[in-house]
Amino acid sequence: MPLIVQKFGGTSVASVDHIQRVAKRVARNLKAGNRVVVVVSAMSGETNRLDDLGMAVSERPLGREMDVLLASGEQVTIALLSMALTDLGYPGKSFLAHQIRIHTDSNHRRARIERIETGDLQTALAEGVVPVVAGFQGIDCAGNVTTLGRGGSDTTAVALAAALEADECQICTDVDGVYTADPRIVADARRLGLVTFEEMLELSSLGSKVLHPRSVEFAGRYEVPLRVMSTFEDGPGTLITMENETMEEPLVSGVAYARDEAKITMTGVPDVPGVASKIIGPVGREPIEVDMIVQNTGADGLTDLTFTVKREDYEKTLELLQPVTGQLGARDLSGDNRIAKVSVVGRGMRSHAGVAARFFDALAAENINIQMISTSEIKISVVVAERYLELAVRALHAEFGLSEAETESG
């Protein structure tokens, strides 16, 4: 019997009615002859509410306690969905991460899954029980509760599918697949029939929150067939797949954006060896992710260095660099936390020159100033003022004709 891991996101389990509909959806899969392991997120808005509660009680709460708090949302939905399934005649059984033993490292709020024990799930499946697993959470080697980063239930699902060698992992959500851009911003965005792991990894790392980046990484590494589909509407969704020669190679497959960015600039830094390491070093030693880094050509023995971090790390990064500014004798430390990153991704960029020129022309035509640029083989990203985000995404989507092409190869 085929084994499917089916994950339902927050909007899919937002109310009692939704949970009962999800149970029916799972039952349909079971009736069709599949074995199913279900993964669920907390009810939509719940993890935000818990986060706000933690921040209201303490300005700098310990990661350990925040994880105990944040992980509680999923405990509610696994129990409710198990009850709903049992009422339909398909016995459901809820599992928290520590009951299955989803082992992670100890990096609270951004833990990585290291290993999953599958014994209890296999037993449940053999008994004809439907395991309903809490997404987003794990335990570290000391038994502490950890969470995988916002949106991390996708990663729980794919990691479980890999560990159980499932036939498919289905990410069921409020859109019917991966689109050429966030359909909430671009009304004529188009659903992609197929997208490669490589492109999907870029799209999600660059902000397309339809899939958690780590879930795509797992799926690529363990070759888990991964599909994004609608929870309540029938349809093929989007299959994330290995590249093969028969696939068409679109110049640009999609546009992604990340709103939660901030940039830090240190100006008038002595242009001598080791400066970048002295500035980025202290930030990199914290659990702060440094993204784009730009250092200007020096003039008069001085240079400027700008880099971006997540907006939530902005204040802390400025604080860390305050003493460094003095030590280096730099002129000034400044920042801007109202920036956003906009990117285009496509395998075809490898073999076609001129994408960058079209990208910059499209933004220039809208009078959007580009603050930073970064490129790789299959993507171009820029930083712009946050207020231009939507305009930039729409301009790029139109420039690369993404609403027009009707191809299943993405």
The residue ranges that bind Mg ion (CB under 5 A) are: 9, 151
Contact 7, 169 (CB under 8 A): yes
Report whether 304 contacts 269 (CB < 8 A): yes
As given in the structure block, the two tokens for residue 121 are 């799930």
Applying CB under 6 A, among 153, 170, 238, 306 the residue interacting with ligand ASP is 153
DSSP labels, 57-122: H-SS--HHHHHHHHTHHHHHHHHHHHHHHHHTTS-EEEE-HHHHTEEE-S-TTS--EEEE--HHHH
CB of 241 to ligand ASP, least distance (A): 23
CA distance 197 to 93: 32
Comparing CB distances to ligand ADP, the nearer of 184 and 331 is 184
Partner whose footprint covers residue 136, from ligand ADP, ligand ASP, Mg ion, none (CB < 5 to 8 Å by kind): ligand ASP
In whole angstroms, give the CA distance from residue 151 to residue 67.
14
Shortest distance, position 174 Cβ to ligand ADP, whole Å: 5
What are the strands, taking DSSP E only, across 242-290?
254-270
Q: How far is the CB of 290 from ligand ADP (least distance, A)?
A: 24
Among 14, 37, 73, 266, contact with ligand ASP (rule: CB under 6 A)? 73
DSSP assignment of 22-42 equals HHHHHHHHHHTT-EEEEEE-P
Q: What is the smallest separation between the CB atom of 231 and ligand ADP, expressed in angstroms?
A: 8
Q: Stretches 7-15, 240-248, 347-355, 384-392: which one binds ligand ADP (CB under 6 A)?
A: 7-15
Is 208 a binding residue for ligand ADP by CB under 6 A? The answer is yes
Binding status of residue 8 toward ligand ASP by CB under 6 A: no
303 closest CA partner among 283, 282, 281, 274? 274
- Closer to ligand ADP at the Cβ: 12 or 308? 12
10 scored as a contact of ligand ASP (CB under 6 A): yes
Residue 184 CB, shortest distance to ligand ADP, in Å, is 4
The item of ligand ADP, Mg ion, ligand ASP, none sharing an interface with residue 152, based on CB under 5 to 8 Å by kind, is: ligand ASP
Shortest approach of ligand ADP to residue 209 CB, angstroms?
Answer: 5
Half-sphere exposure (Cβ direction) of 9: Cα atoms closer than 13 Å:
23
HSE value, Cβ hemisphere, 13 Å, CA-based, for 79: 5
For ligand ASP, the binding residue among 150, 259, 316, 358 (CB under 6 A) is 150
186 sits near ligand ADP (criterion: CB under 6 A)? no
Q: Residue 165: left if φ>0, alpha if ψ -120 to 50, beta else—which one?
A: left
Using the rule CB under 6 A, is 346 a contact of ligand ASP? Answer: no
CB 282 within 8 A of CB 324: yes
CA distances from 179 to 54, 189, 237, 329, 356 (A): 34, 6, 10, 48, 22
Contact set with ligand ADP (CB under 6 A): 9-12, 41, 151, 173-175, 178-179, 181-184, 208-210, 254
Contact set with ligand ASP (CB under 6 A): 9-10, 41-42, 47, 73, 135-136, 150-153
